[in-house]
Structure 1
Amino acid sequence: MSAANDKARFLIVDDHPLFREALHSAVRMAYPDVDTVEARSIAEALEILAGPKPFELALLDLSMPDVHGFDGLLQLRTHHPRLPVVVVSGHEEPKVISEALSYGAAGFIPKSVRKSDLAQAIRTVMDGAIYVPETYKPATLDAESADRAEMVRRLATLTPQQLRVLQMLRQGLLNKQIAFELQVGETTVKAHVSEILRKLNVYSRTQAVIEVAKLDNPDMFREQSGF
């Protein structure tokens, strides 16, 4: 934790006001002197994290409006690999928890837990441990799950710029359009695409888009109410 004259800061990333307030309350219960900052989208979170003041922890809802599936977690982990990111989600299935941890989450807290338990979970992560619910039991990986885990591992090797290029490929943008958006030359974009294909072990940009899309599971991330 930071010294008294330089308070620690937590980032709360959630698009629901009630959930953000509940997280604020839990954080204050665990660490009364910590400053909390809110972000209502992944884009806003990345903009805040790019600022001069560091953060000690990020609390992230998986169901964010500007990303699909685990994309938000992947972006935070890629751009800020040293920042502990704890997923706080209404989805408590073992498969979701396992995938979140495989993306590098420092913990997984169900939104159904009591605020006192949430506060204790935050303390656990801040003490350097990975928090998971007591009821969590890792599922045995089948072939499909193993393939997903391997793709997650490969995605984690992409640089922030390569990840941005991949996201634009998924949007169907051409090299010329990507170059314009990133303010770089087309040759640079082609180099990024080649490196992305190499790291993902695929042979074309179409195959890259298809394989990464398999990680999305819209049904898994439908909005849920209640904390």
Structure 2
Amino acid sequence: MLSLREVAQSIDHTLLRSDSTEKQVLQLCQEARDFGFKAVCVLPCYVTLAVKSLKESGITVATVIGFPLGAHLPEVKAYEAKLAFSQGADEVDMVINIGALKEKKMSYVYDDISAVVSEARAYPGKVVKVIIETALLSREEKLLACQAAVEAGADFVKTSTGFGGGGATVEDVQLMAEAVRGKAKVKASGGIRTWEQAQALMNAGAQRLGTSSGPAILQSQLTKQ
């Protein structure tokens, strides 16, 4: 069984609701400190606040790009990423153009991802995670999306936005891990609320977990010790 620290260090503590406030973002950052999470993931308008709050903590700040639909133009996504990195974000989680994927316009999907990756490469150490929204995809489409992400140089493939009608499953994580063949990492997100889910998804190959339930997940184990 994975340790509390191993699970905590996989968690991107997430607050992406449209009604989130500065006060809630500051609480999110404090919880990340208290529980030793790997990262916080906040809306773009809160990047500067999160960076300031977590200064010298060692906790990563992530934000979202083209979120949650993925239908922004590639140029817009690239500019979003540029702004986020210039404001101190360490990582961006971008949503692919799902319609283009379904029509198998793979050059567009590649260019869409590559536009964001190119911005990241201008800043040493920055990370790009590619959200493929697995609940909307067939098995073939999931494989194609992972292939495009790897070819475009993304660091992670990620299951879900949490807004697409479905979340992370063990089966999808396994499929994605097999598809990227170690050339990218896998982030599971969407509907992760229990210790058992966290363990299962990490054992299936997820190196990161995106969840707003991180404190509850860890607290459920702390009370057992």
| TM bucket, shorter chain | 0.3 to 0.5
Answer with 1 or 2: which has the greater Rg: 1
Q: TM-score, normalised by structure 1?
A: 0.35
Q: Tell me which protein shows more strand as a share of its residues.
A: 2
TM-score computed with the length of structure 2 as normaliser: 0.36
